[in-house]
Each structure stands twice: as C-alpha cells, then as structure tokens.
Structure 1
Amino acid sequence: MTPTSTTPAQHGQRTVAPGPGPGTSPLRAWLAVIALGLGTFSFVTTETLPIGLLPSIGAGLDVSVGTAGFLVTGFAAVAAITAAPLTTLCGRIDRKWLLAGLLVLYVAGNLLAVIANSYGVLLGARVLVALAHGVFWSIAAAIAVRLVPERHAVRATALVLGGISLASVLGVPLGTMIGQRSGWHTAFAAVAAIGFVVLVAVLSLLPSLPAQGTGSLAALPRVLRNSRLRAAVAVTALVMIGHFLAFTYITPYLEQVTGISEGMVGVLLLVFGVAGFAGNFVAGAVVGRSVHGTLVGALVLMTGSLALLWAFGDSRPAAITLLVLWGLAFAALPVGLQTWVLQLAKEESDAASSLYVAAFNAAIALGALAGGLLVDSATGPRAVTAVAAALTACALLILLLSARSARTHNRAPARNLTNA
C-alpha cells in the first residue's frame, strides 16, 4: 500500500468532513478564511519587516547592519527548523485554539520588540514570533480548506496565501515607511496591532475544528515515505532558493545592470508586487483544473524570465517586462505548491504542510546567503539571475519526472489486469 492510500483509521486519527460544519454560515466561513489570509499577511510582513529598517535598527541598538540583518535570516532559520516538529506535536489540539495561542505568541513577541532596548531582547522577541510563524503557516491553508465546501478549496487556499503577495505589495513598504517616520519600534507596534485584530477575528469567526493529526513525531517519517511529497518539498526548496537568491538583490541588479535610478527602483518593486498579487488570484482560478499544469506553466515562465533577465537585463524595456512576468509566475507557485502538498497527504495535511513551510523558510535564508556571496564576488549582481534560472529549471525537471512517475504508477494496475 502506498503512503498516500493509508487510511486515517490506521493511525488512530479522527477524520473531519470538509465544509464549514453545522451552525456555521457560508458568510462566516469565508470571513474566517479572510481572517486567515490577514494572518498570513501579518506573519510574512513581520518576517521581512526589518529589511527596510536595518540601518535604523543597527544605529538604535549600536550593532552593525550585518548583525541587524540576522534578525531576518535568523527568523527564517528558526521557522524552518521548528515548523515540522512543533506542528506535529500540536497535532491533537483543536485548530481554533491552536491558532489563538499562536496569535497570542505573535502579539507578545512583537510587543516585546516594541520595548526592546538591546539587540538580545529584540532577537529573543523575533525568536518567539518565528516559533509561531512556522506552525501558523503550516496549518492555515489546511484549516481554510476545512471551512469551505470542497469545490471551493483552491479558492480558499488562494485567499490565505494571497497574504504573501499582499505583504510584498503593502506590508513591507508600509512598515518601512512607518519605521522611517516614527521609529522602528512603532513599526513593530503596528504589526502587533494587526495580529491582535486577527486574534479577535479567529476567536469570533472560527468554529471548533477538532485536530486531524496524531500529535506524534512519527507522522513526519510517515509522510516522508511518500515519494511525490518528497518531490514537492524539493521543488519548493529549489524554487524558493532561486527566487530569494535573485529577488533579495534585485535593487543592486536594477541599479548596476539595468541602470535604473534609485528613486525608480521602489516603483518597480511595487509593480512586481502588484503583478504578484494578480498572479496569486489567477493561479487560484486555474489551479483547481490542473495543479500540475499550473506549476509547469509558472515554472517555465519564471525560468524563462530569469534567464532572459541575465541575457537582456541591460535593456530597460526588457528588464521591466521580464520583472512583471517574473512577479506573475512566482505568485502562482505558493498556491500551486501548497495545493499539491495538500492533495498528496490528505490524512496528514498539517505534517505535510509543515515540511513545505520548513523548505520555504530555509530557502529564504539559503537564497539570501547565496545571493550575497554572488553579489560580493567578481561576477557581480548579474549572476544572480543566471543561477536562479538554473535552480528553477532543476525544479521544473523534478516536477516533470515526478508527474511521469505518477502516471506510470497509475497505469501499472491496468497492465497487470490485462496480463492476468
């Protein structure tokens, strides 16, 4: 029996039918999904908030900008390391109350950052939020799918993951603006306030959602026996390393390779974010028809955009066009990849999602680190797009091989019956 055909009863799990459940109106269910999307927005905004405030944080705490930068890479590393084990260990907790606990930890961590007067206290505050971050992201999409009828599962996933794109478009720029005008402590106060709003919404809107997991670390090796899930995690890691390797250093690329002025870079990043926000909902509309087709199309477009940026990045019209296409393609990938993961491990959706989140967050740290080494080398910022294109091409190859293997496996019983 394959891992994907294992029944919940075999592991002592409780199954919960999809849909909002008794006593929950469709409106309330969709408002709860929107609240989860706002939660994703707040967590992703908090994760990347220090990027635009590193100089002021460093000056305020008397540390170097590089040391202050660890507030971002360290956050991603903690989330990556703890997402899978913590999510699995919380597998028996009712999802409503688990979400509430995570949001309390989120608000507390950001309030601690508001009063932080030393680097150690601020780093501790970031660790608190990072511990909640990995678990929240691991369970949010799976909870959204349970809140709505099965036919709307992809749309609910797109709404929740739309918080990622919205954070890129609004979260980080607004947080940076607040921090530059009123101090970086105020920026952390703002994200704490958003988290409190989400907490109130979760308590008000979410019904009781009994856990579907086992609450045992044994769930992790069990889901890892699924070869297609391992492929999904590998594709996620390669895509996100490639994206963050290139995007983290897109500013020096645009300034030094394309010749874009400093003032216009912010405008182009906003355009990238808007394209991504649109791409997220385009993916939500098409991924339900074919997860595989959506992922292949997005990876082909992203790989091509990055490769052409390397070749023609010194042309402003070409660079701007390719940047928009890159944004569209990338935004479709979290929706497609998360949907793929949920389909591959329906009985252990939280454990499977936690591996996806771990790969995603580890990729942020690894991509930013590798990109920095490339930019500081003799090759300069242009090389980041070429290496990123190579990584996404490898992800595309793994995706195609996984799909081919699945088709072969699905045809095998038919051949055996014929031979019999």
Structure 2
Amino acid sequence: MTTSRSAPPPGAVAEQVEPRSWPAVWVLGLGTFLFVTTELLPVGLLPSIGAGMGVPLGIAGLVVSVYGGIAAVSAAPLTSLVRRLDRRTLLAALLGLLVLGNLVSAVAPNYLVLMAGRVIIAFAHGVFWSTTPAVGTRLVDPKSAVRALSVVLGGISVASVVGVPLGTAIGQAANWRVAFLVAAGVGLLVLVAVLALLPPMAARNGGSLSAIPKLLRNGPFVVAIGVAALTMIGHYLAYTYVTPYLEAVVGIPPGLVSVLLLVFGAAGVAGNFLAGGAIARGLRRALLGGVGLLAGSLLVLSAVGAGSAVTAVVLLVTWGLSYAALPVCLQTWVLRSAPEATDAASSVYVAVFNASIALGALGGGLAVESVGVAAVTWVGGILVGAALVVVVVTRNVRRTAG
C-alpha cells in the first residue's frame, strides 16, 4: 500500500525546512542586533564625535535623531518597493548598505560626509527590520515560529542594552572611528553568513502601500500599534535618562552605573528568551505580564527608588527583564493581526517603534528640563500604565492573541 501526499494549492511554493535553517535564524538575529547597535552607536560617543567633526554636541546628536527619523519615514514605502525581491538577495543587499554606511562614517573627513554615511544605513534599517521577522518564522517548523521570532527580535533588545555599551567601550578605548569600523567588519561577516546559510526565499504576503489603509481599518492591528507606541515612548522616556537618574536620584556612584547597565542588559537577554515560552502559553497573558511588570517597575522605582539603592537595583532588573520581552510579544501580535500582509504590517510597526524612540527621548528631555530628572520614571510609568489599560479593556487582543 502506498501513501500519497496532498498536492499544494495552485501557485503555492513548498518551502523545505533544512538543517541549516536554525543557524540562519540566529544570523538574522545578529543582523537585527547590528542594525540597532549601529543606530544607537553614537549615543555614547557624541562628545568625541563632536570634537572630531568640529561641531557642537547638539549638532552631533543629529546623527542619531536624523537616522531614526529616516528609518521611521522610509520603512513602509521602501518595504513596499522591494516586496517582490527574493528575501535572501534583499537581506544581503541591505547588509551591504550597512557595511558601506559604516565605512563612510568611519573615514568621514567632515560632518556632512558622516551624516551621509548614517543616512545610507537608515534607509536600509527600516526595510531589514520589517522583513526579517516574517523570514525568520518561515525558516522553521510552524510550531517553532515564536521561538524563531524571539531569536530574530532578540537582536533589538540585546542591542539596546549590550551593543551600545560595547560600542561605547570600543570607541573610548581606541577612537570613535574604530567603533564604526568594527561595526562594518561585523556587518561584512553577517552578510557572508546570510549568503551561506539563508536559502533562496521568494517574497510572500508582503503587501504593498495600498495595504496600509486596510491595515489601519484592522481593529486588532491598530490596537497592537497603539500599545506598542505607548509602551516604547514610556520606556525610552525613562531609559534615555537612566544614567543621570541613577546618579542624581538613587545616589549610585558614577563608576557603578556602567556595571548596573550591564546587569540591566543581562536581565534583558533573559527576558527576551523567556518571552518565547510565555507567548507559547498565551500571547495575551504574556502581554499583560510584560506591560504590567514594566509599568510597575517604573512606578515603584519612582516612589521608593530614592530611598533604597538595593530596591532600585532590583527594580532595574525587573525593568530590563520586562522591557526586553515586549518587542517579541508586540511583533507577534502585529504579525498575527495581519497575516495577509506581514511585511506591510511590520513596516508600520517599525515606523511606530522608531518614532516612539524619538518621541520618548524628546519627552524625557522636556520632563527633565521642566520638572527634573526624577520625573522620567513616573511619567514613563504612567504611559506604560495606559498601554496596560488598553490591553486589559480591549477585546481585539482576545481575537488575535488566543
């Protein structure tokens, strides 16, 4: 007796999961880590960049904010433009732009050339981030999709809490140009790994710009994007000023702040990978836990952190743990809410995420100037608390997170 397999539907292309697929997923995670690290790399190097380029500190800071603005604005239209390209070819090309942009930044003779190098990478940034989540989940069995997503998006969380301090250390130990050269070298290695490990993959469920108006009429998708915006604005409003907060409000000696930030980063790495198991048990429960713990950490830190350094350190750990779990939860929610246009949905999410970073940093600056640095945790906590309320009361989450 012979058995037969049902034929795939007309026009469908069967994708085989090969033994090399999981290494390819990890390479995609390294790629997202590198893009986000590159975005935030100048943060710890602004004084030396300003001095080297002969521009004021505020002007030097534009290499971060302009980058973020371009990545946010260009993510959706550029992702739509390349929606039919083979995914392997596309990701390799985007990594090539990252390498080129970092090389230009490293050898820039003046500020305008430095900015040009940053702009090159910014255009690639939004497309890479929009594309990799869907590619990562296609590389593995469906039952392992959430785990693959946590690996791919883990690069985002780890970059914020590990990549940036590491880049700063390299720049301070050698020169800020060396930090960009290292980023270019690692980017070249990741590009080669993508070509070696990622199988050819036809574009699928990309969605064009015309899909975005439909997405904005998709209730679960709009709720997911709104929660993401409130959560990330609240987090970055506080995190942007975490160093002066720990020094001035909690009373941590400056020499220990970098150690605590590494502890924050270690908690973030753990939170990112714990998120995969939590989502497998229920996305709604994972969202409630992550957003709730983040809001609670910020608000309790605001209330009692100044009175106890030990308590503040514990809350810093829970802050890092909860924040790092959320990009995986939120991206999973976005992809589930728009399965017919995953790339378009991801591009909107990327735009909102990057805009939230900029708005959070701006809001934190306004809070510091008008009230004082102590205000960043309670203002950020209120915004994250508002996101928690939305998750609790909306029925749209139940429909997509069940």
When normalised by structure 1's length, the TM-score is: 0.90
Deviates more, 1:321-330 or 1:221-230: 221-230
Q: For residue 254 of structure 1, what is the aligned residue in structure 2?
A: 246
2:3 corresponds in structure 1 to none
Deviation string, structure 1 residues 176-232 (Cα, Å, up to 9, x no partner): 111112211110010011111111111111111111146632121122221110111
Partner of 1:127: 119
Question: Which residue in 2 is equivalent to 1:65?
Answer: 57
Matched residue, 1:417: none
SS state at 1:375 partner: helix
In 2 relative to 1, CA 374–199 (structure 1 residues): closer, same or farther, beyond 3 Å? same
Post-superposition offset of 1:408:
8.4
Separation of aligned partners in 1, 2:397 and 2:267: 33
Tell me the distance in 1 between the aligned counterparts of 2:72 and 2:399: 33
User: Could you tell me which amino acid in structure 1 is paired with residue 123 of structure 2?
Assistant: L
Q: How big is each residue's C-alpha offset from its partner over 1:37-81, in whole Å with a ceiling of 9 and x where there is no partner?
A: 110110011011001100000000011111111111111111111
Query: Counterpart of 2:54 in structure 1: which amino acid?
Result: D
1:414 matched residue in structure 2? none
Letter in 1 for 2:119: V
Give the Å deviation of 1:241: 0.5
Cα distance change of structure 1 residues 16 and 321 upon mapping to structure 2, 3 Å threshold = farther
Kindly indicate whether residue 82 of structure 2 is the aligned counterpart of residue 90 of structure 1.
Answer: yes
Residue among 306, 316, 338 paired with 2:309: 316
Q: Which amino acid aligns with 1:93?
A: L
Match of 2:324 in 1: 331
| Matches of 1:116 and 1:104, distance apart in 2 | 18
Deviation at 1:407, TM superposition (A): 5.1
Structure 1 residue ranges without an equivalent (≥5):
1-8, 411-420
Q: Secondary structure at the match of 1:97?
A: helix
Q: Which residue of 2 aligns with 1:360?
A: 353
* Aligned mates of 1:394, 1:213 — CA distance in 2: 32
Instruction: Quote the residue 1:163 is aligned against.
Output: 155
In structure 2, the CA distance between the partners of 1:367 and 1:409, relative to structure 1 (3 Å rule), is closer
In the other structure, the counterpart of 1:372 is: 365
**Residue 393 of structure 1: aligned partner:** 385
- 2:133/2:153 contact within 8 Å kept: yes
- Cα displacement (A) at 1:169: 4.1
Instruction: Summarize the alignment of residues 2-401 of structure 1 with structure 2, pairs less than 5 Å apart.
Output: 21-22=15-16, 25-26=18-19, 28-213=20-205, 216-314=208-306, 315-377=308-370, 379-401=371-393
Deviations 1:4-24 (Å, cap 9, x if unpaired)? xxxxx9xxx97656xxx33x5
Change over 3 Å in CA distance of 1:215–1:93 after alignment to 2: farther
Equivalent residues of 1:341, 1:356 under 8 A apart: yes
CA distance in 2, matches of 1:15, 1:194: 36
Contact 1:239 1:391 in 2 (8 A): yes
Please tell me the residue identity of whatever aligns with 1:348: A
CA contact (8 A) 2:235 2:380 kept: yes
Secondary structure of 1:398's counterpart equals helix
Maintained 8 Å contact 1:298/1:329: yes
- Measured in 1, the distance between the counterparts of 2:302 and 2:47 equals 30
Partners of 1:186 and 1:409 in 2: how far apart? 45
Specify the SS of the correspondent of 1:92.
Answer: coil
**CA positional deviation for 1:142:** 0.8
TM-aligned CA distance change 1:42 to 1:407, over 3 Å: closer
Q: CA deviation at 1:272?
A: 0.5
State the Cα distance separating 1:89 from its structure 2 match: 1.7
**Contact kept in structure 1, 2:207 and 2:341, CA below 8 Å:** no
> How big is the shift at 1:237?
0.8
Distance 1:322 1:406, change over 3 A: closer
TM-score w.r.t. structure 2 length?
A: 0.94
Residue deviations 1:245-295, cap 9 Å, x none?
000001111111101110011011111010010011111111122111101
CA distance in 2, matches of 1:328, 1:381: 23
Measure, in 1, the Cα distance between the counterparts of 2:399 and 2:208.
33
Mapped to 1, the partners of 2:396 and 2:215 lie a distance apart of 18
**Contact kept in structure 2, 1:90 and 1:215, CA below 8 Å:** no
Amino acid at match of 1:249: Y
Name the amino acid aligned to 1:376.
E
CA separation of 1:373/1:204 partners in 2, compared to 1, >3 Å: closer, same or farther? same
3-state DSSP class of the match of 1:63? coil
CA distance in 2, matches of 1:373, 1:144: 38
- RMSD, aligned α-carbons: 1.8
Q: Are the structure 2 counterparts of residues 16 and 141 from structure 1 closer, same or farther at C-alpha, using a change threshold of 3 Å? A: farther
Q: Percent identity?
A: 56
